Structure formats: structure tokens, C-alpha cells
Homo-oligomer: A and B are copies of this chain.
Amino acid sequence: MMYAFKTGLSVATTLAAAALSPAVAAGESIGRPWTLEDILLVPEVNEIALSRDGRLAIYAAEIADEKAGRPQAVIRLVDIASGAQRDLRHANIAKLFQRIPGTNDWSGLLDIGGGLQLYRIDNAGSIAPLIVNPATVAVGRADLSLPVGGGTVPHHVGVLAYAWSPDGQWLWYSLLKARPTSPRVRFDEEVSAMSNRRRSTTEAEVEFYLRGPDGHSIKVMTRPSSDRMAMYAGANILWHGDEIQFRVEKPGGTGGGEFEVRAWDRQTGKMRILANEQDLQTLWLLKGPRGGELATSGNGDRPELIETLPGGPRHSYGRVGFTIGDLRSAGIKVSRDGRHVVLGTRSFGNPRYGLAMLDKHGVREIAGQGSLTRCGFDDDLTLALCVQESMTRPPALVRVHLANGKIAPIAAISPRHEEIAPLSVQPRTWVNRHGYKATGYVIFPRAYRKGQSYPAIIVTHGSDADDRFFDQGNQWNYPVQLFAERGYVVLLINDPWPQQADALLAAYKAWIRGSGPPGPETLQRLIWINGVHSFEDAVNELAAAGLVDPNRVGLAGYSRGSQVVNVAVTQSTMFRAASSGDGGFLEPAGYASSGDSYNPVYGGSPLSDHIVQYRRFAPSLNAAKVCTPVLQQVASASPSQAQLFEALRSERVPTQLSYYPGSSSASDETHLFHIPSNRLLAMRENMAWFDYWLLGIRDGDAPFPERLAEWDRMAKEAPHTCGPPPKF
């Protein structure tokens, strides 16, 4: 509270500046407002690859396709000089575009109907198979599929990953292969692990091959599908003379994993182990200009950029204003001569993605207007074609002169989003009552007038409130831009970032590791309650400044965000409505499937003496304290989600559990929704939910109008509310 008063003045200044910002001044005249479809149709660009001569580039933009019932990738060829673009074709999936060294062609993993396979794409845009594994394996949350990350759209995989040798003569690739599925009797831990199964599954392994100049492939190794490196980072290898270096995950590690860096000699076929690692910070192998491995290290806003050389010696490039290895950044590329490295970066404060050029002597940053999120580079690291975007600018292609850092526009990626008048957005760093900082953004209502206070909705999801135009991982099914169009202030607030203080980092590390110290109460306080206090203090600050009406504040978050939402409603009376997306972690019912993640938070199983900790902290066991109506939108219908629903229902807290189905009974909607019709319904449901509980408006566009009567009933029967009910 103190803090809100202390900073009240500067907030008022900020607000005044916002009212005068060019975006708002220009907004109402130069563009149109956001629509639901605009949110749905923001493209996401994966890899970009330049042609050998640097005149052309290829990229894929993934866009929701209502007719296909899933996202579709459009593969585009762009002429860098003119900015002219041509759609080559659509694919279910398009990723890992690379230039084929020594040729004018590209390669890419495409699913164009036969599962994910490796194709060659020439400069004229014709596409031909390169490596095809016809015995594909189904992956994702679907019947008879290999369970992979909950966000993976169900699909079939033939080729999993690949990488060309620098001379283009050798091809490293991995195939996903079904394991013979003749039913077998299983024992003990293997059975125990099946007890959380929600669908039939299949088993598979990852086979790694090296194809030589003669076109002949030899098998390098077979890895189990439990090796996350093999499954998700099989292309992350280094060519080092005759050796190929890569990481494997060792079995039996903790949540953070245990890994080996290995080298395989293509002449002798011998494998050796170079290093053992654990609790990796990135999937990438970050090779530095001195031949070592790069990392940013140390707490605070200015970590040290370090290169650890083989054998242990460390070289420091000094303190920098960013971290590296973030999968949302533009990656890493080493120049042909090995002397230069370009790294994708993520900055502190207003979290933006940029580039850093590195050589033996030092580091130089390249920052665009907003973020540079995806890039293709030439081999000499003179030129990059990147995606530039920001909270207010839709993704567009730019040319980056890597030597001087100059950036020139090339072409829009999504014309429809260029038509939209940008909303007014302010990056913020909030400091909560404990001194912990959380970054984020204030998005002003379209019709913002200085001096007027507005209802507000906080959207939270860990760390991805950052300077990108749209991130589904951050805003999920919360139609942030429409909230603002409709008159809400939207606060995108990240968790206090772990690296800012030793105590915080230690808590996160204990959580990932699966054991303390610190103990359960410290973890609960630092990892969850700390975030709730950031929200409260941010709201109080903005309320004191007159922007936010503290009696009409809602809270939404999915996944990691839903944990904080669920804790918030039991620990705070500030929020008049909450939407919790496909979560459930922290509920006792989740212990069975995630014991390792629960142990550091609670000390052990809920059926042991540790029940005391659960009673203290688990949202469902604190349902009697909840005065906030809670909507759970879910894809998994997990026991934890049911447990929270039932606990809230039995305390007569207004609550709804909405399950969004897969495209058929044989598959599920994914954690990050991928079915366009579900995304549209879920966004409309959130709009209706917040309008109802915060504003007392019965939304005419409510997607399930018959639920309104249920909400009326629940509102009437609720034993207590967090404050005066909205006026209807």
C-alpha cells in the first residue's frame, strides 16, 4: 500500500504521457478497432531462411484456419529488395527452414498431408521430398498417440528434426519410430505411471541418422521418447571436425532433468561423453566465438555474459542488459568462420527481443522498434531478415544490417492487422510491498479519458507479457484487445522474475529440482503469494492514480497463470471475477500425477501429515474463503480442475467449469487451444463472464446464453461477495 502512495505522482505523470502519446492521438483517425477475428488471425512466424545470395528468403506464417479447424502454415517466398511476397503453399505444419549449404535451395519440415517429413524447396518454390519416413507416429493428446507436450496439436511425425553440416554434404536427422506394440504384461512403477493415463497411447523411439555425401545413411543411436532433448531439440547439434556434438537427457533425472553432452565421431562411429549438465536453462547449444558455451549468469538486471571453455576456464564479456537462450528470441547463429556469433536476446525492464553480435573481443547490441523475434541470417553474419513487432505494431519483415545495426522495413506480414488503430500501451515495472519487481503493460481503454477511472482486468502468465504484438501463450483465450476496446484497462503482469533476487531464484530452483530448501511455506510465499501481492499493489497504485476502479477488477490467467489466479482468489478479496485457464496445479488431486513438483511446495503427499500445508494453501481446501466468482475453461477436465470446481460449488461460490472438446472424441483440445471455433467461443465466454460479474452487463454476444440463468442463480445464492455486487 505504502508503495502505491509513494509512486502515485509518477503514475499520474505516466498517465498524462499516455494520453498524449502518438498512438492514441492518431488511433481513432487512422485505423479501425480490433475484432475477435483479428485476435484469432494474428500470424506466428517460425524460422526464416535466406537464400545463398541473400536476395530471397523463405518463411512460414502460422494462422488459425477456421475451415481447417486448426492452424495452417502458409509458406512464403519474399524478395528482399522489393518486399514482394508469394504464397508457395499451405501446410499443416511448416518448421525448421534452413538453407541447404552449397545450393540455392532450402529445406524444411512440412506436414503437407503425409505427416511431418523433410522437403527440399527450390528458389522457384517447388517442393520435393527429401527424407520421408512413411511409418509415421501419431503424437499429441489423442487416442493411440505418443503423449507429448500438452500444447502440441495432434499430428503425425515421420521426420522429427534435421541439420546440415556446414558444407552441406552431410545430413543429420532423426525419425520417430513406433515401438512394436504387441501387448505385454507390465510391472510395478511402469504400471503406477499408467494410473494417470487419460487416453490410449502408443510408444515410440527416436532414431538418429547421419547421411553422408554418398547418400547412404547410418544409424547413430536410438533414444527413448522420454529423452526431451531427442524429442524437442534433435536439430541442436554442433559440427566439430569429424565430431557431431549434441545433448541427450539421462533417464531418472529430476524435473529439471539430467543431461549429457556427447560427441559422435562420424569416421570411427565412436561416442564419447563431453560433459554432464542438469537443470538446463535452454534447449539450445550456445556456442561462443571462443569455442565454449555461452550463458548469462548472476542476478539483477545486468547479468554477466560468460563463455565457458572446454575444460572449465571462463571468459567474461562483461555485464549485459539481456538474457540469451530464450526460446522466444531469434536464436543463435555462428558465422562461417566461427569468429562471429549473433544471439537472440531478451531485455529486462520492458521485455523486448533483440540481437547481440559477439566476437572474441566483445558484444554489441542491436535493438529494433519493439522486438526482433525471428531472423534468418547469411553465413557471414552481415545481413538478417527479421520479424519486427511490438505491442502496438503487427509483425513485419525488416532487413537488419548486422554490422551497423540499421534496420529497414521490407514488407508487412499481416495486412489486416496493419489496418487496426493501435491501442495505447504503457510498459511498466511494478515493485510490490516486498520490494519484488514485476514487469508488464498497461493497455488503456480505446476511449480512455484522463481523470476517468475504468474497470480493469489483469492477465498473467509467468513471463511472456513482453513487447510482441500478440502471444497466445500470454493472453490465451482472454481477448485482451477487445477488453480494451470495450472499456477495460488491461494489465498484463508477469511474475516477479526469478533472477532479481537470490531468495526468489532459490525458491524456483527448489521447485524445479523437486526439493528444498527453502521449505514449503517459503515457496508458497515467494512463487505464488508474491505474485498476488504484485497484482494487489499494482491495482492500488493505478487506483490511487485514478485510472482503475478498484471495485471492478478481474483476474485471468492460464496454466502458470491459473495457479496464481487460483491462489489469488483464496488470498485476496480484491478480485470481483476470475478466469482460470486449464490449470489445476496445487490441488491435492494433482499429487498423483506430479508428485515431484508438489513435494517442494507442500512437503509431501496430501494423505500424509503434510495435509497441514495443503489445508493452508491448496485453493480447493480454502474454497470457503473465496468471494470471487471463478470460471475455469479447460481442455483436460483433470481431477484437479474437478476438485476445485466441486469445492467452490459446495461453498456456493459462483463458479463454472467449461470444457472445450477436441476435434473429435478421439483427440483433445490442446492446453494452448488450437481449434479456432473453441478459441472464439472461449474468448466470447470470457468477455461475457467479466462483463457480467464486473459490470453487471448481460452480454448479448454471450456464446452460451443459457448459462446466464445459472449465473443469476449463483449470484443470488453466493453466501458472500468480495464487495458490493455490480448493478444490473
- In this complex, the member of A194, A592, A641 whose beta carbon has the largest number of chain B beta carbons within 10 angstroms is A194
Q: How long is the Cα–Cα vector from A221 to B620 in the complex, in angstroms?
A: 42
Is A192 a contact of B646 with CB atoms below 8 Å? Answer: yes
Per-position binary interface string of chain A over residues 641-683, scored 1 when its CB falls under 8 Å from any chain B CB and 0 otherwise:
1110110010000001111111111100000000000100100
Specify which of B198, B661, B664, B704 is in contact with A197 (CB 8 Å cutoff): B198
- In this complex, the member of A195, A199, A200 whose beta carbon has the largest number of chain B beta carbons within 10 angstroms is A195
- In this complex, the member of A199, A621, A658, A665 whose beta carbon has the largest number of chain B beta carbons within 10 angstroms is A665
Specify which of B198, B614, B664, B707 is in contact with A607 (CB 8 Å cutoff): B614
Known: A143-B144, A637-B191, A642-B195. A185 touches B607 (CB 8 A): no
Is B183 a contact of A661 with CB atoms below 8 Å? Answer: yes
Is B607 a contact of A642 with CB atoms below 8 Å? Answer: no
Which residues of B have CB within 8 Å of A638? 195
Which residues of B have CB within 8 Å of A186? 658-659, 661
Is A196 a contact of B639 with CB atoms below 8 Å? Answer: yes
Is B704 a contact of A195 with CB atoms below 8 Å? Answer: no
**Interface check A233, CB cutoff 8 A:** no
**Interface check A606, CB cutoff 8 A:** yes
**Interface check A13, CB cutoff 8 A:** no
**Interface check A589, CB cutoff 8 A:** yes
Is B192 a contact of A642 with CB atoms below 8 Å? Answer: yes
Which residues of B have CB within 8 Å of A728? none
Is A185 a contact of B621 with CB atoms below 8 Å? Answer: no
**Interface check A181, CB cutoff 8 A:** yes
Per-position binary interface string of chain A over residues 172-195, scored 1 when its CB falls under 8 Å from any chain B CB and 0 otherwise:
000000000101111110111011
**Interface check A12, CB cutoff 8 A:** no
Is A200 a contact of B666 with CB atoms below 8 Å? Answer: yes
**Interface check A201, CB cutoff 8 A:** yes
Q: How long is the Cα–Cα vector from A662 to B704 in the complex, in angstroms?
A: 40
Q: How long is the Cα–Cα vector from A646 to B593 in the complex, in angstroms?
A: 13
Is A194 a contact of B659 with CB atoms below 8 Å? Answer: yes
**Interface check A634, CB cutoff 8 A:** yes
Which residues of B have CB within 8 Å of A200? 143, 199-200, 665-666
Known: A592-B589, A637-B197, A639-B196. A662 touches B183 (CB 8 A): yes
**Interface check A506, CB cutoff 8 A:** no
Which residues of B have CB within 8 Å of A613? none
Is B642 a contact of A187 with CB atoms below 8 Å? Answer: no
Q: How long is the Cα–Cα vector from A656 to B190 in the complex, in angstroms?
A: 11
Which residues of B have CB within 8 Å of A621? 607
Specify which of B191, B589, B620, B707 is in contact with A659 (CB 8 Å cutoff): B191
**Interface check A202, CB cutoff 8 A:** yes
Which residues of B have CB within 8 Å of A658? 185-187, 191
Q: How long is the Cα–Cα vector from A200 to B294 in the complex, in angstroms?
A: 46
Q: How long is the Cα–Cα vector from A662 to B183 in the complex, in angstroms?
A: 7
Instruction: Give residues 459-501 of A contacting B (CB, 8 Å).
Output: none
- Chain B residue with Cβ nearest A621: B607
**Interface check A115, CB cutoff 8 A:** no
Q: How long is the Cα–Cα vector from A244 to B46 in the complex, in angstroms?
A: 67
**Interface check A19, CB cutoff 8 A:** no
Known: A185-B660, A185-B681, A186-B659. A666 touches B195 (CB 8 A): no
Specify which of B190, B202, B606, B641 is in contact with A195 (CB 8 Å cutoff): B641
Is A184 a contact of B661 with CB atoms below 8 Å? Answer: yes
Q: How long is the Cα–Cα vector from A187 to B641 in the complex, in angstroms?
A: 12
**Interface check A588, CB cutoff 8 A:** yes
- Chain B residue with Cβ nearest A638: B195
- Chain B residue with Cβ nearest A669: B183
Instruction: Give residues 552-592 of A contacting B (CB, 8 Å).
Output: 588-589, 592
Which residues of B have CB within 8 Å of A588? 607
**Interface check A283, CB cutoff 8 A:** no
Known: A200-B666, A662-B183. A195 touches B681 (CB 8 A): no
Is A592 a contact of B642 with CB atoms below 8 Å? Answer: yes
Specify which of B144, B185, B666 is in contact with A704 (CB 8 Å cutoff): B185
Minimum distance in angstroms from A650 CB to a CB of chain B:
10
**Interface check A91, CB cutoff 8 A:** no
Q: How long is the Cα–Cα vector from A144 to B199 in the complex, in angstroms?
A: 10
Which residues of B have CB within 8 Å of A190? 659
Which residues of B have CB within 8 Å of A191? 634, 637, 641-642, 645, 657-659
Q: How long is the Cα–Cα vector from A40 to B130 in the complex, in angstroms?
A: 53
Q: How long is the Cα–Cα vector from A646 to B196 in the complex, in angstroms?
A: 14
Q: How long is the Cα–Cα vector from A197 to B141 in the complex, in angstroms?
A: 14
Is A707 a contact of B187 with CB atoms below 8 Å? Answer: yes
**Interface check A611, CB cutoff 8 A:** yes
Known: A201-B665, A637-B195. A188 touches B645 (CB 8 A): yes
Minimum distance in angstroms from A725 CB to a CB of chain B:
22
- Chain B residue with Cβ nearest A657: B191
Minimum distance in angstroms from A597 CB to a CB of chain B:
17
Which residues of B have CB within 8 Å of A666? 143-144, 200
Minimum distance in angstroms from A208 CB to a CB of chain B:
25
Q: How long is the Cα–Cα vector from A589 to B664 in the complex, in angstroms?
A: 29
Q: How long is the Cα–Cα vector from A199 to B196 in the complex, in angstroms?
A: 11
Q: How long is the Cα–Cα vector from A659 to B198 in the complex, in angstroms?
A: 17
Per-position binary interface string of chain A over residues 44-59, scored 1 when its CB falls under 8 Å from any chain B CB and 0 otherwise:
0000000000000000
Q: How long is the Cα–Cα vector from A656 to B646 in the complex, in angstroms?
A: 34
Q: How long is the Cα–Cα vector from A645 to B192 in the complex, in angstroms?
A: 8
Specify which of B183, B664, B707 is in contact with A664 (CB 8 Å cutoff): B183
Q: How long is the Cα–Cα vector from A201 to B183 in the complex, in angstroms?
A: 21
- Chain B residue with Cβ nearest A649: B188
Which residues of B have CB within 8 Å of A645? 188, 191-192
Which residues of B have CB within 8 Å of A187? 656-659, 704, 707
Minimum distance in angstroms from A606 CB to a CB of chain B:
6
Q: How long is the Cα–Cα vector from A64 to B186 in the complex, in angstroms?
A: 23
Is B657 a contact of A188 with CB atoms below 8 Å? Answer: yes
Per-position binary interface string of chain A over residues 702-713, scored 1 when its CB falls under 8 Å from any chain B CB and 0 otherwise:
001001000000
- In addition to A181-B665, A183-B661, A191-B658, 15 A-B residue pairs with Cβ atoms within 8 Å of each other are A143-B143, A183-B662, A185-B661, A187-B658, A188-B645, A190-B659, A191-B634, A191-B637, A191-B645, A192-B657, A194-B637, A198-B198, A200-B666, A592-B639, A607-B620
6 contacts between A and B (CB under 8 A): A183-B663, A186-B659, A188-B649, A191-B642, A192-B637, A195-B637
A-B interface, 5 closest residue pairs, ranked by CB to CB distance from nearest = A183-B661, A195-B642, A192-B642, A194-B637, A191-B659
